[in-house]
C-alpha cells in the first residue's frame, strides 16, 4: 500500500462524476469506474447495479499491478492502457496520473476506438483535478467549522489526558 493518499472532497467527486458521465454518453459505454492503484473504488457511473464494484476494483488494480511487472520484464516501465475483450462485454483500463485507473466497460454498441478516444480525453481532465487535489489549490469546505471542531476535540483530549 502506498502512503500518498489524497482527500477528495464532494466538489471534486461531482466534477469527476460529471466527466465520467460525459465520457459514457460520448463513447456509448455501459459503465465506468475510477479506482486507485491500491484497489479502492473512488467512484462509478453508469449501469453498475449488477456488478460487485468493490471486488471488481480490487481485481482490476491487481491486474494492473501484475501487468506492470510483465512490462518491466519486457523492458517497459509500465503499460498505461489495458484491454480485455470478451464475447459480449469488454474492459478498457487506462492510468490517470500516478495513482488512479479509469475503467470503462462496454459492449458491441461502440468500438474500442471510440472508448479509447473518450477515455484519453477524460483521463487528461481527471489528471488535472488530481493535480489540484494533490497541490492543495482548492477551497476546503467550511474551514471555520473544521478548525472549531479540531480546537474543541483538542481541548477535550487535553482534559482527558491531564487527569
> All domains of the chain, ordered by start, with CATH?
10-162 (3.30.450.30)
Q: Please give the grid coordinates belonging to residue 49.
A: 447495479
User: Could you give the CA distance from residue 103 to residue 33 in angstroms, rounded to a whole number?
Assistant: 5
Confidence check: pLDDT of 50 > 60: yes
Percent of the chain clearing pLDDT 70 (strictly above): 79
Of 11, 64, 53, nearest to 31 by C-alpha is 53
CA atoms of 77 and 22, how far apart (whole Å):
31
Please indicate whether residue 83 or residue 144 has the higher confidence score (pLDDT): 83
3-state secondary structure of 34: strand
Q: Are 72 and 86 in contact (CB under 8 A)?
A: no
For 88-144, the pLDDT digits (tens) are: 999 999 999 888 999 999 999 999 999 999 999 999 999 999 888 877 655 554 444
Report the pLDDT value the prediction gives residue 135, as an integer from 0 to 100.
73
Has residue 38 got a pLDDT over 80? yes
Residue 61 Cα to chain centre, angstroms: 11
Question: Given a cut of 70, is residue 158 above it in pLDDT?
Answer: no
Cβ atoms of residues 120 and 94 within 8 Å: yes
Mean pLDDT of the chain: 86
User: Pick the residue with more confidence: 9 or 111?
Assistant: 111
Amino acid at each position: 500500500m502506498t502512503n500518498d493518499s489524497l482527500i477528495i472532497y464532494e466538489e471534486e467527486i461531482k466534477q469527476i462524476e460529471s466527466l465520467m458521465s460525459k465520457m459514457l454518453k460520448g463513447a456509448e459505454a455501459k459503465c465506468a469506474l475510477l479506482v486507485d492503484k491500491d484497489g479502492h473504488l473512488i467512484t462509478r457511473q453508469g449501469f453498475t447495479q449488477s456488478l460487485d464494484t468493490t471486488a471488481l476494483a480490487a481485481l482490476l488494480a491487481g491486474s494492473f499491478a501484475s501487468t506492470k511487472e510483465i512490462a518491466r520484464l519486457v523492458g517497459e516501465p509500465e503499460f498505461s492502457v489495458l484491454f480485455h475483450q470478451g464475447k459480449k462485454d469488454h474492459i478498457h483500463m487506462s492510468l490517470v496520473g500516478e495513482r488512479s485507473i479509469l475503467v470503462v466497460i462496454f459492449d458491441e454498441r461502440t468500438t474500442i476506438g471510440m472508448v479509447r478516444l473518450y477515455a484519453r480525453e477524460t483521463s487528461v481532465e481527471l489528471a488535472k483535478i488530481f493535480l489540484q487535489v494533490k497541490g492543495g489549490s482548492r477551497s476546503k469546505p467550511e474551514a471555520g467549522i473544521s478548525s472549531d471542531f479540531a480546537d474543541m476535540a483538542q481541548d477535550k483530549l487535553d482534559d482527558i489526558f491531564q487527569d
